[in-house]
């Protein structure tokens, strides 16, 4: 059965800067991306997204459109499969699915998991790891732990893919599953607490402390201390420093001893920059760290304030705390910013992507050019 996963306009705006460079359904939460979750239910998936992303993320031209922010479960999948032409399924003002030109509405009364704000990615991550774990591992046998110096608690909740290696680590899966992906590596002295997902070809470095409810996407490296955070993929936080209650996009790099604050000194709820509001929105959360768009970088010893949003392609460095909204293609830090021009950005992106045997091609360039144009209004220093 074919479906196109559509970007609700309001949700796409809320999920910027991540949705500058991907459809909503290409967001990773849990072990899998949202689109991959639907694929695990047997759907052939495409994307109904904005024009400049549609060449990379193509449609399957299905009449059945499903909300790209919806994380599937058995009940909602059954309800969507039962839709007839002309019907739409809704929940609390959100269209969950629509089959062709709709003339009748069915209200869905059960709970659903919708990723409508950036912080939903890390607050939902434990539940989504727990939901994805049986989808990925059901009917399969984990590779054994062969290292005699590795200690595992809750072994029944640990799954290791082919080619993965673990050396002299402590893994506690008693309070949540731990998934170690294909050819992933857990190095000596690492301490991992579930729920946790380490995706294909990624690494947990020596002495790292993974405090749980975290996902490290494919081809990434993590070190230091990480808690309740999601790294989409192809990104590195390889050194000491704290990352908590945060979401990091693809092709990012956090310099050595980068630290994120995830709790205000007065314990007040954290406010986070909202692109849809054009100002700061109250998350209602006491803990909220760093939201970093694709291709962003920061230098050694960078310190991020509680609830900081960093846009696509930004490069942050220098002493002190930079502002807690850093526009896309910013270059600088607490002492001020200039614009990271696209010709320089292309050079860095090509150098970074070739290390993963990938090409910064014309398709990627077209996307970046559009994002650069769309985000110009936030680089206020260019208007002086």
pLDDT of residue 194: 96
pTM score above 0.85? yes
Residues 6 or more apart in contact with residue 96 via CB below 8 angstroms: 66, 67, 70, 76, 79, 80, 88, 89, 90, 108, 112
Burial of 194 (0-12, 13-18, 19+ CB in 10 A): buried
Same domain, 127 and 246: yes
In a domain, 236, yes or no: yes
Please give the helix or strand (H or E) that residue 213 lies within, else none.
Answer: none
pLDDT of residue 346: 97
Same domain, 177 and 156: yes
How many CB atoms lie under 10 A from the CB of residue 204? 27
The CATH number of residue 127's host domain is 2.160.10.10
pLDDT, tens digit (0-9, with 9 covering 90-100), for 193-215: 999 999 999 999 999 999 999 99
Same domain, 136 and 29: no
Across all residues in the chain, what is the average pLDDT? 97
pLDDT, tens digit (0-9, with 9 covering 90-100), for 229-248: 999 999 999 999 999 999 99
The residue behind tokens 């950036």 is 118
Give the mean model confidence (pLDDT) for residues 327-350: 96
CA angle 171, 173, 177 (to 5 degrees): 125
Same domain, 222 and 270: no
Same domain, 95 and 142: no
In a domain, 33, yes or no: yes
Query: 362 pLDDT exceeds 70?
Result: yes
Same domain, 109 and 6: yes
Domain with 219 in it: 117-250
pLDDT more than 90, % of the chain: 99
Query: 384 pLDDT exceeds 80?
Result: no
In a domain, 191, yes or no: yes
pLDDT, tens digit (0-9, with 9 covering 90-100), for 31-60: 999 999 999 999 999 999 999 999 999 999
- Long-range contact list for 104-108, CB < 8 A, 24+ apart? 106/79, 108/76, 108/79
Q: Which of 226, 250, 274 is the last residue of a domain?
A: 250
pLDDT, tens digit (0-9, with 9 covering 90-100), for 253-271: 999 999 999 999 999 999 9
In a domain, 37, yes or no: yes
Same domain, 271 and 215: no
Same domain, 324 and 280: yes
Give the mean model confidence (pLDDT) for residues 301-307: 97
Query: 81 pLDDT exceeds 90?
Result: yes
How do strand 113-114 and strand 165-166 relate by DSSP bridges? unpaired
User: Residue 321 — pLDDT band, cuts 50, 70, 90?
Assistant: very high
pLDDT of residue 383: 78
């Amino acid at each position: 059965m074919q479906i196109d996963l559509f970007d609700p306009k309001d949700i796409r705006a809320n999920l910027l800067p991540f949705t500058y460079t991907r459809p909503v359904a290409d967001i990773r939460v849990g072990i899998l991306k949202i689109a991959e979750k639907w694929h695990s239910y047997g759907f052939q998936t495409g994307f109904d997204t904005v024009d400049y992303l549609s060449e990379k993320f193509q449609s399957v031209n299905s009449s059945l459109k499903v909300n790209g922010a919806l994380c599937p479960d058995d009940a909602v999948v059954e309800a969507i499969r039962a839709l007839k032409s002309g019907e739409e399924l809704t929940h609390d003002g959100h269209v969950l699915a629509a089959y062709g030109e709709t003339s009748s509405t069915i209200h869905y009364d059960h709970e659903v998991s919708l990723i409508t704000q950036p912080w939903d990615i890390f607050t939902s991550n434990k539940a989504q790891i727990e939901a994805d774990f049986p989808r990925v591992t059901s009917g399969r046998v984990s590779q054994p732990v062969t290292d005699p110096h590795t200690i595992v608690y809750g072994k029944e909740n640990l799954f290791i893919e082919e080619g993965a290696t673990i050396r002299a680590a402590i893994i506690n899966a008693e309070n949540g599953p731990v998934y170690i992906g294909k050819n992933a590596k857990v190095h000596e002295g690492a301490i991992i607490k579930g729920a946790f997902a380490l995706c294909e070809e990624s690494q947990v470095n020596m002495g790292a402390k993974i405090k749980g409810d975290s996902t490290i996407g494919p081809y990434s490296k993590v070190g230091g201390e990480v808690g309740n955070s999601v790294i989409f993929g192809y990104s590195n936080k390889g050194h000491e420093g704290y990352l908590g209650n945060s979401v990091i996009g693809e092709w990012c790099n956090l310099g050595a001893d980068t630290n994120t604050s995830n709790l205000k000194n007065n314990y007040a709820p954290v406010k986070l920059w909202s692109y849809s509001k054009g100002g700061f929105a109250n998350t209602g959360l006491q803990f909220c760290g760093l939201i970093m768009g694709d291709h962003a970088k920061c230098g050694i010893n960078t310190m991020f304030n509680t609830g900081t949003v960093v846009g696509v392609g930004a490069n942050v460095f220098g002493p002190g705390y930079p502002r807690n909204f850093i526009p896309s293609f910013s270059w600088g830090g607490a002492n001020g910013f200039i614009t990271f021009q696209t010709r320089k950005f292309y050079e860095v992106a090509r150098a970074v992507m070739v290390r993963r045997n990938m090409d910064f091609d014309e398709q990627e360039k077209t996307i970046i050019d559009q994002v650069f144009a769309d985000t110009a209004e936030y680089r206020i220093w260019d208007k002086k």
